[in-house]
Amino acid sequence: MAKPHHQALYSAHLKRLLPLLILILGSSPLAGCVNVRPWERAILADPCMAVVPDPEEAKLEQHLFAYREGSAGGYGDTGGGCGCN
Amino acid sequence: MAAAATRLAIIVAALTAPLAARADDVLNKHRDLRRRSGDAAESEVAAPFGTRVASKLAYYTDDDGLTVVTPIVSVEQKIFDTSSITLEYDADVLSAATVDVRTSATDKFNETRHGIALSGGHKLRSIETDLGGSVSYSRENDYQSVTVGGGFSTELLQKNVTVGAGYSYVYNSVGRSHTSLDAFEDHLDIHAVNASFTQLLSKRTYLQLSGSIIVARGYQASVYRYVPIFLEGTVDPAQLSEASLLSGAVRPLERLAERLPRDRLRGAAVARLNHAFDFGMTVAGDYRFYADDWAITSHTLSVNIYQKLPAGVQLRLRNRFYIQTEADFYQVAYTVPDAETRPTLFTMDRELSAFWYDMVGVKLSLELPVPSFLERVVLDLKGDLQYTKYKDFAYLLDRTAIIVGGGLTVEL
């Protein structure tokens, strides 16, 4: 027989996300601690420092991960958009 | 005051997200990091009508009988240095004789998916905010999908902090190949909200925290996946395998089309840290935690190391490790006490079982010498090796995949 399936919107597993969400929202105290001046940002402007250095490669890979993982989200993806399940 | 304003902006970004999603995708295409990086970077992208054309081709093959060729072509046109528009085409040319196909005793199948996407972005310089939006359409013989999305990112505190948020909606129409829509048609709606917070930590380091909430409602199973249902006492899960099923050594009571819950709430949070060393090396690492109300939790750890080499060559080495738990309704073998009883939910999807994989890869990018009318031409080649180990999926114990690809990016 199938194990009990609890489909409450805020299941215990989902609640595990809470600390990380609090971390995201609570990390704003970092803001203002550091001031990198415009003329000090040449290294940060290097393409390989970008969040997504190669958008086309990233799109292909998110597609691959979408049908090779039971997870979705976090990288701007939605976990849908094709019948590759 | 500034800190309070930032906190408020982040909370608003995370909770409201009235604009659309794929914000990272859209806004990254507009080189938000370069813009965020200040005046020096802005002068680097100051060409008012720049065009970027990128084409990639990836080839995936694994020892489970799946081969996928994926081309993608993208054309981005910048307009007045404040706006841009991108048109993109991609496809999957797929050939499958996977365990799903083999255990269903059906033939290998070939299928092609075509996708097209249009996205645009605009920078409001007066308030240091990027707006982005996109629409895409994807079609294959049994599945159609439309995605609309949009988002924003805004720079705060002398551009040391960037917050962004987005929303996207995906409408999926699910059919069955060679079957009229009257016989089978269903739908899947997906709503996704993303939010991100990026903080410069030094002139060489930044931290990004991001999160997503995804709500999916509708048909989420595979119409081609049939799950064997056994009478209690007639099967030992330890003896169950593809061979025992196909040979008739184990005999199911019947095989039923996979049935999954129609609702799914998914959440993910990512912490990313990028640091550039002074000897031409950049290390980009991220960790993702994921959980959903099907009881799947996962951890993903990814590290990319970039090293600049002489003659315009850049080397990337990377590793991605992923591990997940099983869905709460997943079972190795579904058994019933009598011939009339059926389980409520049942699946044979190995991606809903417990497993882990590790992927290692190498990529070489070469900046080619160009004539004066071209800004930049980059050729890249890559190869990845992925090994997956399933904990309790009886029909496939492990899988090894190879992904190779290459691409050419031209900026003019």
> How many Å lie between the alpha carbon of B412 and the closest alpha carbon of chain A?
17
What pLDDT, on a 0 to 100 scale, did the predictor assign at position B285? 97
- Closest CB to A25: pick one of B10, B136, B349: B10
CB contacts, 8 Å: B295 with chain A? 6, 11, 13
User: Chain A residue closest to B349 (CA)?
Assistant: A85
Average pLDDT over residues A66-79: 86
The alpha carbon of residue A59 and the mean position of all alpha carbons in its chain are separated, in whole angstroms, by 14
A27-31, B5-9, B239-243: which is most confident: B239-243
How confident is the model at residue B395, as a pLDDT? 92
Backbone dihedral region for residue A64 (phi beyond 0: left; psi -120 to 50: alpha; all else: beta): alpha
Among A2-11, A65-74, B392-401, the range scoring the smallest mean pLDDT is A2-11
- The alpha carbon of residue B168 is apart from the nearest alpha carbon of chain A, in Å, by 8
User: Is the CB of A3 less than 8 angstroms away from the CB of B328?
Assistant: yes
The answer to which of A12-16, B177-181, B307-311, B388-392 has the lowest mean pLDDT is: A12-16
Q: Are B57 and B69 in contact (CB under 8 A)?
A: yes
Check A2 against B329: CB less than 8 A apart.
yes
Instruction: Specify the pLDDT at position B44.
Output: 41
Complete domains list, chain B, with CATH: 2-51+101-381+388-400 (2.40.160)
A25, A59, A82 member nearest B145 (Cβ): A82
Ramachandran sector of residue A77 (left: φ over 0; alpha: ψ -120 to 50; beta: rest): beta
Q: How confident is the model at residue A81 (pLDDT cuts 50, 70, 90)?
A: low
- Check CB contact of A22 with chain B, cutoff 8 Å: no
- Whether residue A14 lies within 8 A of chain B, CB to CB, comes out as yes
pLDDT of residue B177: 76
Backbone angles phi, psi at B325, to 5 degrees: -90, 170
Contact B368, B380 (CB under 8 A): no
Contacts of B60 in chain A (CB under 8 A): 64
pLDDT of residue B19: 37
Q: Do B188 and A80 touch (CB under 8 A)?
A: yes
Per-residue pLDDT of B267-285, as tens digits, reads 999 999 999 998 999 999 9
Q: Is A18 on the interface with B (CB under 8 A)?
A: no
Confidence of residue B8 (pLDDT cuts 50, 70, 90): very low
- Which tops the pLDDT comparison, A3 or B199? B199
Q: Identify the band that residue B17 occupies on the pLDDT scale cut at 50, 70 and 90.
A: very low
Banded model confidence at residue B101, pLDDT cuts 50, 70, 90 = confident
pLDDT surpasses 50 at B39: no
Contact B72 A78 (CB under 8 A): no
DSSP category for residue A47? G
Between CA B375 and CA B48 the distance in angstroms is 13
- At residue B186, the 3 state secondary structure works out as strand
The confidence score (pLDDT) of residue A22 equals 62
Q: B25 and A30: CB-CB below 8 Å?
A: no
Q: Are strands B263-276 and B205-218 parallel, antiparallel or unpaired?
A: antiparallel
Task: Note the pLDDT of residue A38.
Answer: 87
pLDDT of B298 strictly over 80 = yes
What is the distance between the alpha carbons of residues B10 and B197, in angstroms, rounded to a whole number? 7
The CB-side HSE value for B147 (13 A sphere, CA atoms) comes to 29
Q: Do A24 and B2 touch (CB under 8 A)?
A: no
% of chain A beyond a pLDDT of 90: 27
Output b/e per residue, B177-211; b: 16+ Cβ within 10 A: eeeeeeeeebebebebbbbbbbbbbebbbbbbbbb
> Which residues does chain B have within 8 Å of residue A69's beta carbon, measured at their own beta carbons?
298, 322, 324, 351
Contact criterion met (CB < 8 Å) for A73 and B290: yes
Are B400 and B359 in contact, with CB atoms under 8 Å apart? no
Query: Residue B47 — very low, low, confident or very high, per pLDDT cuts 50/70/90?
Result: low
Nearest to A60 by CA among B403, B281, B277: B403
Q: CA of B41 to nearest chain A CA: how many angstroms apart?
A: 6
Q: Could you report the predicted ipTM of this complex, rounded to two decimals?
A: 0.83
**pLDDT band at B106, cuts 50/70/90?**
confident
With beta carbons under 8 A apart, name residues in chain B contacting A1: 335-337, 343
Chain-chain contact of A44 with B41 (C-beta, under 8 angstroms): yes
User: Mean pLDDT over residues B202-217, rounded?
Assistant: 96
Tell me the per-residue pLDDT of B322-381, one tens digit each, with 9 for 90 and over: 999 999 999 999 999 998 999 999 999 999 999 999 999 999 999 999 998 899 999 999
Q: For an interface test with A, give the residue of B167, B235, B274 to mutate (most A CBs within 10 A).
A: B274
Whether A79 and B266 lie within 8 Å, measured CB to CB: yes
Tokens of B28: 């990254």
Token readout for B98 is: 């996977």
Residue B329: per-residue pLDDT: 97
CA distance A10 to chain B (A): 7
3 state DSSP class of B39: helix
CB-CB under 8 Å, B291 with A30: no
In the predicted model, what is the mean pLDDT of residues B91-107? 85
